[in-house]
Amino acid sequence: MTISNKKQAAVTAAMPASLRAAVAGYRWVRDTAGESDAAVYRLQGRDGAPDLFLKHGKGVAAAELADELARLRWLAPYLPVPAVLQFAQAADPQQAWLLTAALPGKMAHELLEANPEIGPAVADALAAFLRQLHALPVAGCPFDAGHAVRLAQARRRIDAGLVDADDFDARRQGWTAEQVWLALQRCQPLTPDLVVTHGDFSLENVLMQDGAVSGCIDVGRAGVADRYQDLTIVWRALGELDAALQQRFVDQYGIVDIDQGKLQFHVLLDELF
C-alpha cells in the first residue's frame, strides 16, 4: 500500500538532513508482512536506483531498531543480511530510523503460497541455512538471547499490554497473556543447547532465490540461545502447510529425536512476541 504524502512527511519530519536526502525521490510502500513493532516501508522507483527498506520506530520500537543495527553489523561478515546504509535517532520524541538495502529474492512463504510443490526444496534450503547460522562462533557473539532474557522481555510486554491475544495460535484462542505465561512456567526448567540464533526464523523473514536462501531479515532478536528458538518457529510454520515438510526439515537439519518439551516452550514463548 503506497502511503500518503502526509504520512511520509510525518515520518521524515525529525530526520537528519542526510537521511532525508537518502530517501528523497522514492515511492514509499508500507510493508505489513512481518510483525515488527516498527513501521516498515519499501522505497522504490528513484531513477532506477535499487530498492531500499526504511524502518521507523518510537519508544520501545526505537530501542529495538538500535538492537537490530548492532546485530546486522555483527552478522554481516557471516551471513547475507541487509546492508546498513544509515541509522539515525532523535531524543524528542524518542524515535529511530534504520535504512537498509533490499536483498534479492522473495520471502519463503510467498514462494510456497505460489507453488506448494516446491515445499521439500524449501525445507531443505531452510535446514541448510539454519545449520550455517547455528555453526557461527558462540564465544564471539556479544548478544544474549537465552531463556532468561526472553522471559524477562515477555514479562515486560505483558505488563505493558503489548501482547496481542487475538493473534494466538488456534489452540490458544481465548487465552489471556497471563495464561500463556503460566503455561510457560510449567515447561521449565530446560537445559539449553546454545548456538547463535536468528530469534524469529519465520518464513516471512527468510528470502530465497534460485532454490537457495539469499538472505534473512528482521534480526533484532538474534543472539546466543537454545537452537530450538529457531527450530520451533520454522517447524511450526512448515507444519501449517504439510506435516511431511516438518519431518523433512528436521531430518535435513540433523535431528534424530525432536524435543517436544522444548518445542512446547518456544511455541508458548513466541505467542508473547
| Residue 231 and residue 156 in contact, taking contact as beta carbons nearer than 8 Å | no
Helices (H) and strands (E) in the chain, counts: 10, 10
Nine-digit cell string for 128: 541448510
What does each C-alpha distance from 251 to 17, 120, 175, 244 come to in angstroms?
51, 11, 33, 11
Cβ(196)–Cβ(136) under 8 Å?
yes
Question: Contact at 8 Å (CB) between 39 and 66?
Answer: no
On whether the CB atoms of residues 252 and 128 are closer than 8 A, the answer is: yes
202 neighbors 239 (Cβ within 8 angstroms): no
Contact 101, 78 (CB under 8 A): no
Pull the grid cell for residue 217.
531479515
Residue 188: all three cell numbers together: 521449565
Q: Catalytic site residues?
A: 200
- What radius of gyration do the chain's Cα atoms show? 19
User: 114 is written with which cell numbers?
Assistant: 505460489
Secondary structure element (H or E) that encloses residue 135, with its range: none
The CA distance from 123 to 118, in Å, is 9
SS3 208: strand
